[in-house]
Amino acid sequence: VKLTWARDIALADQRLSSAQQRFPDIRTGNGYDVHAFEPGDHVTLCGVAIPYERKLSGHSDADVGLHALTDALLATCGAGDIGTHFPPSDPQWKGAPSKIFVEHAAKLVRERGGRIANADITLICEAPRVGPHRAAMTEALSAMLGIAPERISIKATTNEKLGFVGRGEGIAAIATASVVYPGEVPA
């Protein structure tokens, strides 16, 4: 831009000051889920079947990590929760892989112009051990979300033998998703 007249300088000042006041539209969503154990031979966590003496009880495959992540993704675009899109009362979801839920939420985010920047899941359980399966879980999530593995974090912690998780009655999960949407945060 050529600055010749006082008016040119005033316009340049206005453009520069408004450019400095822009805030990108980055949204963070959280999700939480919990399922109790029942008799079975494996637990599905973050899309990976882990051999175990019990399984999680739920209408789908009861993958607490993916259910929490689904809610976190839906939260970034105000699209309700997992039960809004996949009601537990609907028999078509009985035994369904939770991968379907995450892929649906990611599709809704993308349809609204969003780019998933990060997915973080904390699994809260006394058993089974998550560490040996973390790489497979990260790979599964990378494929579901269409993002690089380094943008995915899967952690596990115990409940120090406290509460239902500590007594080994079930597993809980907390998920956080960060998504960048086009535009800027409204003033």
* Domain boundary assignment for the chain: 24-184
- pLDDT (average), residues 3-23: 78
Percent of residues, the chain, with pLDDT higher than 70 = 96
- The topology (CATH level 3) of 24-184 is 60s Ribosomal Protein L30; Chain: A; (3.30.1330)
If one counts every other C-beta atom within 10 angstroms of the C-beta of residue 30, the result is: 14
pLDDT of residue 103: 98
Pairing state between β 42-45 and 170-184: unpaired
Closest-CA residue to 60 (of 25, 31, 85, 27): 85
pLDDT in tens, 104-159: 999 999 999 999 999 999 999 999 999 999 999 999 999 999 999 999 999 999 99
In this prediction, residue 186 has a pLDDT band, given cuts at 50, 70 and 90, of confident
pLDDT in tens, 85-107: 999 899 999 999 999 999 999 99
pLDDT of residue 18: 63
